Chains A and B, each alone.
Chain A
Amino acid sequence: MNGKTSRLALSAMFVSVMMVLGYLESLIPVGGVPGMKIGLANSVLLLSLYWLGIGISIQLMLVKVFLSAFMFGGFMALPYSLAGGVLSLLVMIALIYLGRGVSAIGAGVAGAVTHNIAQVLVAMFILQTNQLVYYMAILVGVAIVTGALTGTVAKMLMRYLPKNRKELFMLKQA
């Protein structure tokens, strides 16, 4: 894990995996309820936070948000996914790098919850209504489950972290 080339290759791979996961999720119907999805791409982002660091993860998130808006034609959804992505990434960075004893599961839950909250807040701002609080409560409840799921996936994937990154995070938390 040294050199710019391998980092470039890795981040390109991460972006492509995130895009594919995001597309596959959009195929699962959830009965017309917007914002309800598993967010498996988030587990890849979590892994990249542990593996590639803060700077590259921020770039990965931005690239993912804009690329999926361009490719899957969701320009309407751009402010929502951007707000959700930025806020959840900030919270996950804070928890992973500053929080003591927070594992990938806790970071995943917090990221998913803030992602959904940010999205509903943007919707409230656009629609100028505070009547979406009920929906926010439901989305937060769903995010606990899906966040725990993605966090667990990230934790299982962390087995493949290179040794120096593993020492940085796993030993600190043990």
Chain B
Amino acid sequence: MKKQDLTIITIAALLALSLFILNRSGILSPKQAPKTQEADDIAVTIIEQGANSKQTITPLPLMSEDSKRWPAQSYLRISVNNRIYEPISLAGDSHINIRREGGYHNEAEVKDGIVRMVFSTCDNQLCVKQGALSIQNRDLRALYHQIICLPNEVVLEVLDENETKAFFGENTPDDAAHPLMAPLLYSILCLAFLFILRLTLRLLLGVRRK
């Protein structure tokens, strides 16, 4: 282990931490829903359990009249082949069917506020293995708030109320709720962590400054 190796490791750790801060600072989260065209070849159907009613939801532009979906703490955003669909409240249980031309088929399930991919036609089945996703456990997951099926280009995301309103609604959330405090705190913590990491590495590997 040479000194240059330590430098490389430190640079990589810095990179990881800055990416982490970048994500937490909320700069990257999309502010408004992009315009989407209607897709003929994709069908997203939701079967709400209990009500036994079946409905097909449409890509974004048609959703603004539908206001009864709002009162909930968390929402599911579905995007298929880069088209984003209207948010689904996680308050009720439902079964979601996502079909695309070409034999792509995914099935997701919402139960007690927990989303899972239960079926997929993809060959690696990684989306099914990604397991449960809810507003509570999303901070602990490697993929954060997403369940991704890359072969079928299906992305399920759990958003909280503010994020949903910022993305789908007309009224933007007050920025006072997210001051600069959190990123600052994170960066201080990260710097402290880096310092400790460097110290331990030096102690463990016996690299000394000349």
Contact = CB atoms under 8 A, between A and B. Distances in A.
B54 to A, nearest CB: 28
Interface of B is mostly: mixed
A116 B122 CA distance: 22
Contact of B143 (A33, A102, A129, A140): A33
B4 A102 contact: yes
Nearest to B8: A106
Interface centre among B2, B20, B79, B123 (most CB of A within 10 A): B2
Given A103-B1, A140-B19, A131 B29 contact: yes
A138 interface: yes
Nearest to A122: B150
Contact of B126 (A34, A73, A127, A132): A34
Q: How large is the interface on B (under 10, 10 to 19, 20 to 34, 35 or more residues)?
A: 35 or more
Contacts of A132: 146
A141 B23 CA distance: 15
A137 B17 contact: yes
B23 A134 contact: yes
A32 B8 contact: no
B16 A144 contact: yes
Interface residues of A, number: 43
Contacts of B142: 33, 36, 135, 138
B64 interface: no
B149 to A, nearest CB: 10
B194 to A, nearest CB: 12
Contacts of B28: 130-131, 133
B9 interface: yes
A106 to B, nearest CB: 3
A33 B5 CA distance: 28
B146 A131 contact: yes
B1 A105 contact: yes
Interface string A102-115: 11011001100100
B12 to A, nearest CB: 5
B69 interface: no
B38 interface: no
B43 interface: no
A173 interface: yes
15 contacts: A29-B129, A33-B130, A73-B123, A77-B124, A102-B5, A102-B8, A103-B4, A106-B4, A131-B157, A132-B146, A133-B28, A135-B142, A136-B19, A137-B19, A141-B13
* Pairs A-B, 5 closest by C-beta atoms: A32-B129, A106-B5, A137-B19, A140-B16, A32-B130
Interface of B: 1-5, 7-9, 12-13, 15-17, 19-20, 22-23, 28-29, 79, 82, 122-131, 142-146, 148, 150-151, 153, 155, 157
Interface of A: 29, 31-34, 36, 73-74, 76-77, 95, 99-103, 105-106, 109-110, 113, 123, 126-138, 140-141, 143-144, 147-148, 151, 173
